[in-house]
């Protein structure tokens, strides 16, 4: 049991360390700008009145956990695909556009928007995204095409398909239910997308608890031939990971569309692919597949959003923010590379050995 806890802590060490580093930067920046009283400014949470007149929670932490909701959900599915297929899906943004278009198509086809209509629209969007997952999974699992190349098809054509779903238009909605999905439920001060992330987390917690999906995915990622000899069907498991990713992408697409109250096929979740891959990497997962940590990837998603908020708070304009973000990511990846980690381990081992020798000498003299 202690060994399992240690292995999990090893996965979470990197994302937690990076998250704490970013929080430390914000604390220092607040102290410099506001003096010592500003030490807790970054963590302050206040009650605000939104446009609908409801009391809601606001602050940097609320913005982070709310803004990272779509990325956190997609990171869950991306982790499974990465672990089993030893590659990544770069078409998740385009598939999210398709899912959101189907969602709005069903809603706009109904005379009145009810909870049942919204739920049916989500099921339709999830089915569309999961079918895209079946397409990608077939190319990867059956035709043995490298995941990034296979999903390039959807990356290229997906947004055009989404545009065609609604007859070449960018639809808008203006109803209370979808507005609450993208913002706040009346009388609840916490953003609704946060609860949706928790629901997805609960679903996958139950899946991993009552099925062998985690074991099968990791076995295939570590050694596919050995997994096959032990009765595991690699083709089926890889297909399932892409289908599961489609389910996650549908949730993210619906959240984002409900936030905007429209579907902008060209910009909806733009660049989410690279952020999702980065969240998996920051989460301590190897991009070459094998063992994985869903919790680590979720923390990685919140870490990326914390980085975005940090850069904005430091006065970086939205246009060049990607340059600063890329620089930080490069440094992070260098520090986490096997070569650098091995060198740090050797230096640390030498330092601790010298410390032990010094203690022995002092004890001997005493």
Predicted confidence (pLDDT) per residue in 250-306, tens digit: 999 999 999 999 888 888 898 899 899 989 988 888 888 888 999 999 999 999 999
d(CA 321, CA 307): 10
**pTM score, whole prediction:** 0.89
pLDDT band, residue 128 (cuts 50/70/90): very high
CA angle 213, 285, 43 (to 5 degrees): 110
Q: Which residue shows structure tokens 């198509």?
A: 105
Tens digits of residue pLDDT in 135-163:
999 999 999 999 999 999 999 999 999 99
Check if the beta carbon of residue 300 is closer than 8 Å to that of residue 74.
no
Tens digits of residue pLDDT in 15-34:
888 888 899 999 998 888 87
Q: What pLDDT is recorded for position 358?
A: 59
Q: What pLDDT is recorded for position 202?
A: 97
d(CA 32, CA 41): 12
Q: What pLDDT is recorded for position 10?
A: 60
pLDDT band, residue 354 (cuts 50/70/90): low
Q: What pLDDT is recorded for position 282?
A: 87
By CB atoms closer than 10 A (0-12, 13-18, 19+), residue 188 is: middle
d(CA 139, CA 81): 13
User: Which of 361, 365, 364 is CA-nearest to residue 353?
Assistant: 361
pLDDT band, residue 2 (cuts 50/70/90): very low
Q: What pLDDT is recorded for position 105?
A: 93
Is a pLDDT exceeding 70 seen at residue 356? no
The pair of three-digit structure tokens given for residue 84, joined into one six-digit string: 């089993």
Tens digits of residue pLDDT in 299-335:
999 999 999 999 888 888 877 877 877 787 777 777 7
Q: What pLDDT is recorded for position 264?
A: 86
d(CA 256, CA 70): 7
CA angle 349, 351, 354 (to 5 degrees): 105
Q: Work out the percent of the chain whose per-residue pLDDT is above 90.
A: 57
d(CA 353, CA 362): 14
């Amino acid at each position: 049991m202690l060994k399992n806890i240690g292995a999990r802590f090893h996965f979470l060490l990197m994302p937690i360390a990076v998250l704490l580093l970013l929080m430390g930067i914000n604390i220092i920046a607040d102290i410099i700008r506001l003096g010592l009283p500003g030490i807790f400014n970054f963590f302050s949470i206040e009650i605000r009145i939104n446009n609908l007149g409801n009391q809601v929670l606001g602050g940097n932490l609320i913005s982070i956990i709310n803004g990272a909701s779509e990325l956190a959900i997609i990171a869950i599915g991306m982790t499974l695909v990465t672990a089993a297929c030893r590659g990544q899906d770069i078409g998740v943004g385009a598939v999210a556009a398709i899912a959101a278009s189907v969602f709005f198509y069903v809603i706009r086809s109904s005379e009145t928007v009810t909870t049942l209509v919204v739920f049916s629209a989500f099921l339709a969007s999830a089915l569309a995204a999961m079918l895209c997952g079946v397409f990608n999974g077939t190319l990867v699992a059956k035709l043995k095409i490298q995941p990034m190349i296979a999903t390039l098809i959807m990356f290229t054509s997906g947004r055009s398909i989404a545009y065609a779903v609604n007859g070449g238009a960018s639809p808008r909605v203006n109803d209370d239910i979808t507005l609450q999905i993208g913002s706040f439920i009346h009388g609840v001060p916490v953003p609704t997308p946060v609860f949706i992330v928790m629901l997805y987390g609960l679903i996958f917690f139950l899946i991993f608890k009552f099925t062998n999906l985690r074991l099968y995915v990791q076995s295939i990622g570590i050694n596919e031939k050995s997994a096959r000899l032990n009765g595991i069907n690699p083709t089926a498991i890889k297909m399932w990971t892409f289908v599961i990713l489609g389910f996650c992408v549908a949730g993210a697409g619906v959240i984002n569309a409900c936030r905007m109250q429209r579907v902008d096929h060209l910009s909806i979740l733009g660049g989410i692919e690279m952020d999702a891959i980065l969240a998996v990497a920051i989460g301590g997962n190897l991009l070459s597949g094998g063992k994985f940590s869903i919790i680590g990837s979720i923390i990685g998603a919140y870490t990326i959003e914390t980085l975005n908020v940090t850069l904005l708070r430091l006065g970086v304009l939205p246009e060049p923010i990607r340059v600063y973000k890329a620089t930080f990511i490069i440094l992070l990846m260098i520090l986490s590379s096997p070569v650098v980690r091995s060198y740090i381990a050797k230096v640390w081992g030498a330092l601790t050995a010298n410390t032990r020798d010094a203690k022995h000498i002092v004890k001997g003299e005493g």
